[in-house]
């Protein structure tokens, strides 16, 4: 059966790319999101994958750009639907939010086809996403520094929690954040439609990060093997799971020295960072409230009072 996504159309054993039209830009030109359809020679499940719903998060685009040329539809069972760049307007100007309506795309799902710019893009991509059996929404910790992890956002009491957690484990970055996300996330809205969905969060950087892109590519192929799109055995490895997340801001202005490295275990009461003057005089020290793992931190050393410094993931277990 022919599978169509926007202007892309592929028969079994074929791959095609095209555009999913969503509206017009300010000069009246029609614009479309870049899309790909990989239609396997054999029937099977459908996977939906999207990248750059936050316009400055390019590692997911790096993953898609590397995965697609490696896919041979003749050897695939099932279908892969891909939107390569979701936040079209943010991507053009390398910004996190959609500059047309100053909205974070991953708060606009499931969207509204007659709504704001972000709501319309969300609605168009949600319609594609909900054709699938599994969803990967590729993200990263924006331009801050972050470990590679996969987020399960439906919440532990959701009927699909077990299936989302399984998908996160199969993707296999090593770390899982299992915490209900804010309204408007694709990983919140799609499980409500009965589709297991996760947010792989591939590090954090300005531009590309080779290590994180590689983990993302590996994760996609793990999913393709485990769910029967590709031949081969896939045995998920135990992951380090966090169920809480504590954020720390600067108690004073100055320059930050972070003590633990990303991924280090920290104990309650242990020093996380010190703020100094430009002359190296210590001003304030901040300690961890709970045992956990240093998960994310700011990239630039200079801070104003109250400015974000780092996050510690808590309630750690193996899953």
Phi, psi (5° rounding) for residue 85? -140, 110
Residue 16 or 57 having the CB closest to Zn ion:
57
Sites of contact with Zn ion (CB under 5 A) = 54, 57, 139
Q: How far is the CB of 208 from Zn ion (least distance, A)?
A: 15
Residue 57 or 166 having the CB closest to Zn ion:
57
Residue 79 or 311 having the CB closest to Zn ion:
311
Asked if 168 contacts 174 with a C-beta cutoff of 8 angstroms, the reply is: no
Q: How far is the CB of 93 from Zn ion (least distance, A)?
A: 16
Question: In sequence order, which residues have a C-beta less than 8 Å from that of residue 10 and are 6 or more positions away?
Answer: 2, 3, 16, 37, 38, 39, 73
d(CA 34, CA 56): 16
Q: How far is the CB of 124 from Zn ion (least distance, A)?
A: 18
d(CA 171, CA 45): 16
Asked if 22 contacts 29 with a C-beta cutoff of 8 angstroms, the reply is: no
161 class by beta-carbon count within 10 Å (0-12 exposed, 13-18 middle, 19+ buried) = middle
Residue 24 or 102 having the CB closest to Zn ion:
102
Q: How far is the CB of 152 from Zn ion (least distance, A)?
A: 15
Residue 18 or 84 having the CB closest to Zn ion:
84
Residue the block writes with tokens 């599994």: 134
Q: How far is the CB of 182 from Zn ion (least distance, A)?
A: 12
Element (DSSP H or E) covering residue 91: helix 88-92
Q: How far is the CB of 139 from Zn ion (least distance, A)?
A: 3
192 class by beta-carbon count within 10 Å (0-12 exposed, 13-18 middle, 19+ buried) = middle
Residue 104 or 241 having the CB closest to Zn ion:
104
Residue 54 or 148 having the CB closest to Zn ion:
54
Q: How far is the CB of 167 from Zn ion (least distance, A)?
A: 18
Rounded alpha-carbon distances, angstroms, from residue 270 to 129, 184, 235, 290, 303: 43, 35, 36, 9, 21
């Amino acid at each position: 059966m022919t599978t169509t996504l926007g202007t892309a159309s592929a028969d079994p054993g074929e791959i095609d790319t095209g555009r999913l039209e969503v509206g017009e830009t300010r000069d009246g030109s029609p614009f479309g999101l870049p899309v790909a359809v990989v239609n396997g020679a054999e029937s099977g499940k459908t996977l939906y994958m999207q990248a750059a719903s936050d316009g400055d998060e390019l590692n997911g685009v790096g993953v898609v750009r590397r995965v697609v040329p490696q896919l041979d539809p003749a050897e695939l069972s099932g279908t892969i639907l891909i939107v390569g760049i979701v936040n079209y307007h943010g991507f053009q100007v390398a910004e996190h939010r959609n500059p047309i309506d100053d909205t974070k795309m991953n708060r606009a799902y499931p969207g509204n086809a007659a709504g704001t710019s972000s709501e319309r893009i969300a609605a168009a991509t949600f319609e594609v996403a909900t054709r699938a059996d599994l969803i990967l929404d590729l993200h990263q910790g924006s331009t801050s520094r972050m470990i590679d992890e996969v987020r399960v956002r439906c919440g532990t009491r959701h009927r699909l929690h077990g299936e989302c957690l399984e998908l996160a484990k199969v993707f296999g970055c090593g770390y899982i954040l299992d915490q209900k996300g804010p309204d408007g996330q694709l990983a919140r809205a799609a499980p409500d439609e009965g589709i297991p969905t996760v947010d792989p969060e591939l590090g954090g950087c300005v531009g590309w990060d080779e290590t994180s892109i590689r983990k993302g590519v590996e994760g996609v192929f793990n999913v393709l093997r485990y769910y029967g799109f590709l031949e081969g055995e896939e045995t998920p490895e135990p992951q380090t799971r966090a169920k809480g997340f504590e954020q720390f801001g600067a108690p004073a202005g100055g320059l930050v020295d972070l003590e633990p490295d990303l991924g280090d275990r920290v104990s309650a009461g242990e020093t996380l960072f010190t703020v100094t003057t430009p002359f190296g005089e210590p001003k304030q020290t901040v300690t961890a409230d709970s045992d956990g793992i240093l998960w994310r931190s700011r990239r630039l050393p200079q801070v104003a009072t109250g400015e974000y410094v780092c996050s510690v993931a808590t309630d750690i277990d193996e899953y």
